[in-house]
Amino acid sequence: VWVALSVHDTSSVVATSTVFGEEAAKIATFVKLGRTLWLVPLVFIFSILQSKGRAKIHIPMFIILFLATASMNPFLELPDQILVTANTVSSTLLMVALFCIGSGINRETLLNLKGAPVIHTLLLWALVVPATLVMVLNFV
């Protein structure tokens, strides 16, 4: 609960709370999503106040998509294999996103990558990862 209340970003809440175990992650995620859900009425109220009597009220698209996604969940009966795969993909993408945020990588930096440095990096990675695995397995 403390992580959900003290950490701002939802993905950071998930990542931070997993350090304390699966049960802590479930509780922190539930609390954080509950807090996030309170944004819906707040955004709606402020949209009405900002409209200043105009007929058209602007509600951000992310609010509409969030509500649509959240409301579909109870009605979808997906096979377990799809849920397991989606969970694995989701966790992996979350780790990649947190890595990119932490290291300052964005879409622009990825588009500016050139071939030779990428190949060099991949070759180094392909050498370092197995070498460190052998060291850990044999010497630790």
Block mean pLDDT (10 aa), the chain, length 140: 77 82 88 85 85 77 83 84 86 83 87 89 93 90
CA-to-CA separations, 116 to 102, 120, 124, 132, in angstroms, rounded: 24, 6, 12, 24
The tokens for 13 are 């809440």
pLDDT of residue 29: 87
Query: Has this prediction a pTM greater than 0.85?
Result: no
CB count in 10 Å sphere of residue 31: 17
22 vs 140: CA distance, rounded Å: 27
Given this model, what pLDDT does residue 14 score? 82
Q: What pLDDT shows up at residue 74? A: 81
Q: Can you give the pLDDT at residue 7? A: 80
Report pLDDT for 17. Answer: 86
